[in-house]
Chain A
Amino acid sequence: QVQLVQSGAEVKKPGASVKVSCKASGYTFTGYYMHWVRQAPGQGLEWMGWINPNSGGTNCSQKFQVRVTMTRDTSISTVYMELRRLRSDDTAMYYCARDSAFSMVRGDMGTWGQGTVVTVSS
């Protein structure tokens, strides 16, 4: 079955970087775009961006364009999201979520990872 397994919780200091991984299984990794979505404690969902695992192409919300890099390693069916210059308000659960459409980005995220908690604290 389609599954996304994310890396474990992280605690970082302000100004540092964090890199979250998302390992996919149960489907053709390069066939489906992957989104990143975050959720601050007690808050709503916030779309961050997507990566095309086939080409490596990415697109980000303007809010994150300067601080976020999304990459992939097709040999291990894994995508990564790196967030730099962390601030306390980056404390959140970070999810990867697979787009449901094959070979295109349609925005309906049908499969989600379990989430990775990132805590930013001095």
Chain B
Amino acid sequence: QSALTQPASVSGSPGQSITFSCTGTSSDVESYNVVSWYQQHPGKAPKLIIYEVSKRPSGVSNRFSGSKSGNTASLTISGLQAEDEAVYYCCSYAGSNTWVFGGGTKLTVL
């Protein structure tokens, strides 16, 4: 499996909304509504923030939302805060009980 495609970096100002993209193929993102998103701060383990495309785990802020169209999944953060600065990874089911991650997008809060 090839890694899902994510832009290397994005930036935004506090209070803005920002959207991350995650592009896959017909073998993963397009075929399954099993996309999750993870937030990773430096030196920390990843944290699950979205699963099954748009569901939020208990305790995750409703500023985080997810969606999917065709072979591209998206994560939107509204009301950007300084603490949101991190790397964000998407992950998709890729068939045959396997999963694949994206390369990650580094978010800089200006």
Residues of A at under 8 Å CB distance from B? 35, 37, 44-47, 50, 59, 61-62, 95, 97, 100, 105-110, 112-115
Pair A107/B57 contact, Cβ less than 8 Å: no
Pair B98/A61 contact, Cβ less than 8 Å: yes
Residues of B at under 8 Å CB distance from A? 1, 3, 34, 36, 38, 40, 45-48, 51-52, 57, 87, 89, 91, 93, 96-104
- Nearest CB in chain A to that of B40: its residue: A45
Pair A100/B51 contact, Cβ less than 8 Å: yes
Known: A45-B89, A100-B51. A110 touches B57 (CB 8 A): yes
Pair A107/B45 contact, Cβ less than 8 Å: no
Instruction: Write the nearest CB–CB distance from A79 to chain B, whole angstroms.
Output: 16
Known: A45-B104, A46-B101, A62-B1. A107 touches B89 (CB 8 A): no
- Nearest CB in chain B to that of A47: its residue: B99
Known: A106-B34, A107-B36. A59 touches B97 (CB 8 A): yes
Pair B38/A113 contact, Cβ less than 8 Å: no
Pair B46/A44 contact, Cβ less than 8 Å: no
